[in-house]
Amino acid sequence: AEGELVQYHYGLKDLVTILFYIFIAIILHAVVQEYALDKINRRLHLSKVKHSKFNESGQLVAFHLTSVIWCLYVVVTEGYISNPRSLWENYPHVYLPFQVKFFYLCQLAYWLHALPELYFQKVRKEEIPRQLRCIALYLVHIAGAYLLNLTRLGLILLLLQYLAEFFFHMARLVYFTDENNEKLFNVWAVVFVVTRLFTLTLYILVIGFGLPRVESQALDPERGNFFSFLFNNILFRMSVLLLVCLFQASVMWRFIHFQLRRWREYWNEQSSRKRVAAATTGTKQQTKPLKRDSGYHENGVVKAENGTSPRTKKLKSP
């Protein structure tokens, strides 16, 4: 009927849709590589290691920027930011608006397309375990939020995560073009800390206070209710929050350790430059100027100050 709101549920046909958009993602990946990244690489003349990292960051910058804009549009139009209570109200969120469902299917398609891209891009063997771990983590979290009906919470978490990742890979691109420019890494550090704090706050708000207040607290897999009865137990709820806090603390500890090591290397490099400059200045001051004969040189001949030659002239006989 006119004005009727159509909503969607997940099912086996989603696999066909994801497969189709995997091919679309591969084509878009090739377009960005051919018409943007390869042209920049030819001008920069990067080494093989930097060339691989530049391609990786270039692709992820394009993806994260698109995902941040798209995800922000979805959460604003659906009212998830203006009304935080909607993140847990009426749980389980079994039926989804079209744009929410389509966003999740495209996200799954992109991270699945990254698996064959490891072969197409000829990624070095040393980099494959790290990239596989990253792809697996994204797939598990996105598919988990989609299948366990936590799509609203998953959207906000993806928005925060992609925002921090965008600044990180953008800083890497700028660093590869100019190794003396590390200002964007400082911006990424601030954004990373802020997003971690928002992520932790969101977990505490939804898990600690939101889901335990859901009306339907019984386990009902047919209706998609998987968590309410668990979070009603205070011991389980506190255990989950403790695990979340420990995980975020470990992430922050690695981040702080990385930043301290980077700043230490920077200050060591600056101090070594100052020592070299001081040693060069001291060497110049110790060097004494050579004594020259009185007069000046002209075409390799010493001339007197009045312009006459310092050698005595032979008198010619009359």
In whole angstroms, what is the distance from residue 129 CA to residue 150 CA? 29
Residue type at 270 in one-letter notation:
Q
297 bridge partner residues: 302
209-247 pLDDT per residue, tens: 877 776 655 555 666 666 655 666 677 778 878 888 888
pLDDT exceeds cutoff 90 at 62: yes
The answer to pTM > 0.95 is no
314 in a structural domain: no
82 in any annotated domain: yes
Residue 104 included in any domain: yes
Nearest to 144 by CA among 157, 162, 127: 157
| Cβ within 8 Å of residue 237, ≥6 positions away | 207, 208, 212, 230, 231
User: 271 pLDDT band (50/70/90 cuts)?
Assistant: confident
The reply to whether 68 falls in a domain is yes
Q: Is 122 helix (H, G, I), strand (E, B) or coil?
A: coil
Using pLDDT thresholds of 50, 70 and 90, give the confidence band for residue 32.
Answer: very high
Least confident of 95-99, 161-165, 302-306: 302-306
Q: One-letter amino acid identity for 312?
A: T
318 located within any domain = no
289 found inside a domain? no
pLDDT exceeds cutoff 60 at 26:
yes
Through-space distance between the first and last CA atoms of the chain, rounded to whole angstroms: 133
Tell me how many domains the chain contains: 1
Does residue 176 belong to any structural domain of this protein?
yes
Residues 232-251 as b/e (b if ≥16 CB within 10 A, e otherwise) read eeeeebeebbeebeeeeeee
Range of the domain at 208: 7-275
